Structures are given as C-alpha cells and as structure tokens.
Amino acid sequence: MGLKVLLILGHPRRGSFCEALADGYAAGAVAAGADLRRLSLADLGFEPDVLVPSPRDQEREPAIAHAVDLVAWAEHLVFVFPTWWGTMPACLKGFLDRVLMPGFAFEDRDDGEGWDKLLVGKSAHLLTTMDTPPLVYRFIQRAPGLNAIGRATLGFCGVAPVRSTIFGPVKPASAARRAEWIEQAIREGHSLRDGALTVGQRVRGRLAAWFRSFRLQFHPMAWAAYALGAAGASQATGRFSWLAFWLGLACLFSLELATVFTNDRYDYESDIRNRHHGPFTGGSRVLVDGSISLASLHVAMLIALGAFVATGLALATVVSPLPSLVILAALGVLAIGYTVPPLKLCWRGLGEIDVGVTHSLGVILCGYAFQGGAWTNPWPWLVAVPLFFAILPAITLSGIPDYSADRAVGKGTIAVRLGPRMAVRLAQATTAAAAVTAVALLPRLIDSGILEAILLLIVPYAIAQVVLMERYLQRQLEPRRIDGLMALALTYIVFFVAIPLWVLV
C-alpha cells in the first residue's frame, strides 16, 4: 500500500487553474504509487462559520464528518488553493475552522498549560496560485497565507514539516507558462515515490533533532566558568596556552554531550510521563517524540564518551598530566553519574548538588589546572562558591514542572523529597547565599572594585528573584511549567561568571 495522500482543492469555483494543478498533482501521485483521495470544497455543502462556542459542539454535516475521517486517514495532506488578499479563500478558512476541531486536531490541557498536538506524524504540501510576484510575497509581504496555514494552523496541530510551492504571477502568464506549471505539479506529485519528505526536509529534520538533543542552551554557562578558571590561572602564572584552552573546552563539550544523551536515555520513563516539559525541563524529547531512535542515541553516547577520553588524553600531552587527568576523571564520574547507574545521583536526592559542583568548581578547576595553576591553590575553590549557590536555585526549580512525572517513577529530586513548596524555599535560600558569598569572597579574590558591581547588579537581582518566588508560593499553584522563574534563575547565574571574567580579562 502506497503513501496515504489527501488532496484538498480549496477553490470555490469549478474549472479553475487550481483544479488543473490539482489534477496534475493527482496524476503524478497516482503514478508514483500513492493511495490518493480527493476533496473539492466547491462540491462540499457545509456551514463554514463556527456558530457555537466550540467547533466540536457544532453538528457535523456529512461532508464535514467525511472530511474528518479522511484527514485522520491521511499521512500526507496536500492543499491546492489561490492566494487572495495575501491569504486563503473564505471556503478553505471555513473548512479548516470546522474540521480541525479540538478533540480531533488538538486538545487543550485541563490545567490550562498549553495544548496537545493530535495530528503529529502527518506532513503537508501547500500549492498556491497568485498574481503577486512570489519573491515579493515571500520576502516583502512575508507569506501571510502560507504562514497562517502552515505554521499557525497545521503546525499548531502537529503537522510537520509543511512545504510550499507558489505558482505566479498567474494573470500575465502565457498558455505555455501555465502548461509548465501543470507539468511541475505533476512532478511534485510524482516525487511522492520517494516518500512525502524531500531529501532536504529529511536532512534538516535529522539535523534539527540532533541539535535539540545537544541542549546547547545550557552549554555556554559552563564554557564561561571554564574561561573564568583559565583567566584566573593566567593572572596567577603569567602564562596562557590557547592549545590547552581549546583542547580542554573540546573535552568538556564532549562530556556535556555525553551527559545530556545519558540523561535522555535514563530519564525516559519520567520524560514520557511529563506533561509540563518546556525549554528548560523535561529533557530534549528526542526519544519521546521518536525523532531519534534509542539505538542512535546509544551510538551518540559512545561517540561523545570516546571524544571525551581522546581529547582528555591529548590534553594530557600539553599540560601537567596527573592533576588534569584526575580532575577530568572525577568530573566525568560526577557528570555521567547524574543519571547513569549505579550512581544515579539525581534519583537519590543528590542531583542538584552534583550539577552545582560540576558546573561551578568542576569547570573552574579544569580551566585553572589546564593553564598551569596548582589545583591545591584555594583561589578556584573559593571563586566557585558563589557560583555553586547561584546554580542551585535554577536546578532546584527545574524539578517542580517535572514533579509529578519524577514522583511516579521514583526519581528522588529535591522537589520530590521535600515537596515543591519547600523546594522553592530552598531556591530562595540559595539565591540569598549566592549574593552573600559573592559580597564576602569575590572582592578579595578578584579585585576590590568588583564590590560595586555586585552591590548594583547581583544583590538587587537576588532580592527580586526571592520576591518573585514568594509571589509564586502565594498563588499556591500546582506543580506546572514555570518558564519565567526558570529564565530568571538561569539569568542570575550569568552575573557570577560574567562580572569576575570581565574584571580578570
């Protein structure tokens, strides 16, 4: 059985040029072996307006009921329609309003937190005619109609990817030019012999999934802390090796990749239950949504670990090998042991401490030792203290959206062990501890002039962060996404790296 394709002709008149394009696409698709069904909106009798508060409650005419069945059946949706006034005709807009109803195409969540996409796994192709020059439509008008259907409508319901083909300007086009467009539509349909996605779409989809799995949004903070350690050592010794710096950074990047890959692997049971995942919590979702297979992720884990070992050994040839390898080994055990058995530190209530140590003292000590600084020197250990406390609020708060899922699988985060409210209280306490230790330690370790920046930036920000967490507690909300608080807490960490680094460099 071939690819299941539903072709929807969204022109209100019969005998249009859009119909000729649809016929051409259909001929090519059938020749490619597709199992194709068609709907022509000019032949459907239905009320295009939603006359009740929710379209799911409106009586479904036979045409709408049939269309819902066909959309559910299809693997690939093809829309052929004219672009009028920059967007779709009224009949197509009414069709989408009636068919893509809640409970079928999407579902609002009971807690009011976002929605579930119910048409995931389907792809789409938009073929449209217009009199506007295509380049003007795409780059000056910014393709309002294609965005309305492809992103705001189909994308909202989980249909992806959605590609588009524009035919135009139609009005001045000769008969020969129109015949070329029909041949192009035939080729578009015939391309389904290789599947609904183009080679480019498949490559971009794979690359996008792997980039998501890297969780790059969390890496720069560790890189900056590593640079802080390197700058401190350079100031103490008067030397700096770019080769050691970049080899060390590559080593830490490889370890970070191995860590996020193993997190996705060993947190899968929690992630699959997590309805409150967001950009900062719940993993990368690549295993949950099937965009990367478990076998591929295992290979990536081995490659990342191999790169960590290889770059670590290469680093040992240009720096003092013993302390560097010992520090890297300890950091590797703590990082991988965050979720990997037998340590599984995040399952035992130690994950927050683990992240705080590895992303403060661990990377600062690496930067310091790789540049020839003595690891026994108290400087990197003390500089790491305020950063350690600054990291704890963010990593503690990240357990709140994941609370229900983590508790269901027995993952003992701070939020699970103490409860969400006490976790927020701990985040408030560590926010204050970070500011206090910054005032007490950083002027002595970096430069006395840094105190002014701490008092003007860190202390007011810490007060604001504590106050906003208190307001969150006063609302007495159930554990859910807290993207605002998470962004606030992650930004707080920046001060403890950026200010000292600015003074040292």
Q: pLDDT digit string (tens) for 187-231? A: 999 999 989 988 888 899 999 999 999 999 889 999 999 999 999
Q: Let me know how many helices (H) and strands (E) the chain has, helices first.
A: 21, 7
- Beta partners for residue 166, in sequence order: 128
Provide the whole-model pTM. 0.85
Whether the per-residue pLDDT at 478 is higher than 80: the answer is no
Q: Give the pLDDT confidence of 416-438 residue by residue, as tens digits.
A: 999 999 999 999 999 999 999 99
Output the pLDDT for position 207. 94
Output the pLDDT for position 480. 82
Whether the per-residue pLDDT at 477 is higher than 80: the answer is no
Joined together, the tokens standing for residue 135 give 């380049």
What is the SS3 string spanning 217-259? HHHHHHHHHHHHHHHHHHHHHCCCCHHHHHHHHHHHHHHHHHH
Joined together, the tokens standing for residue 140 give 């000056």
Please report, for residues 32, 36, 73, 247, the alpha-carbon distance to residue 1 in angstroms, rounded to integers and kept in the order given: 12, 11, 13, 52
Distance CA 271, CA 409 (A): 10
Q: Are 187 and 26 in contact (CB under 8 A)?
A: no
Whether the per-residue pLDDT at 112 is higher than 90: the answer is no
Percent with pLDDT over 70 in the chain: 99
Kindly state the average pLDDT of the residues 248-257.
Answer: 97
DSSP secondary structure of 379-437: HHHHHHHHHHHHHHHHHHHTTTTTHHHHHHHT---HHHHH-HHHHHHHHHHHHHHHHHH
Please report, for residues 222, 279, 330, 350, the alpha-carbon distance to residue 257 in angstroms, rounded to integers and kept in the order given: 12, 17, 17, 21
Q: Are 54 and 47 in contact (CB under 8 A)?
A: no
Q: Are 492 and 393 in contact (CB under 8 A)?
A: yes
DSSP secondary structure of 250-294: HHHHHHHHHHHHHHHHHTHHHHHH-SS--SSSS---TTTTTSS-H
Output the pLDDT for position 7. 98
Q: Give the pLDDT confidence of 18-27 residue by residue, as tens digits.
A: 999 999 999 9
3-state secondary structure at position 175: helix
Strands 35-40 and 106-108: unpaired
Q: What's the chain's average pLDDT?
A: 94
Output the pLDDT for position 114. 76
- Could you tell me the pLDDT band of residue 386, with boundaries at 50, 70 and 90? very high
Kindly state the average pLDDT of the residues 392-410.
Answer: 94
Kindly state the average pLDDT of the residues 163-179.
Answer: 96
Joined together, the tokens standing for residue 455 give 């008092």
* Residue 102 per-residue DSSP state: B
Q: Amino acid identity, residue 425?
A: R
Torsion, Cα 232 234 240 242, to 10 degrees, reads 10
Kindly state the average pLDDT of the residues 145-158.
Answer: 96
- Could you tell me the pLDDT band of residue 113, with boundaries at 50, 70 and 90? low
Report which of residues 275 and 14 the model is more confident about: 14
CA 145 to chain centre: 26
* Residue 337 per-residue DSSP state: T
Q: Give the pLDDT confidence of 15-74 residue by residue, as tens digits.
A: 999 999 999 999 999 999 999 999 999 999 999 999 999 999 999 999 999 999 999 999
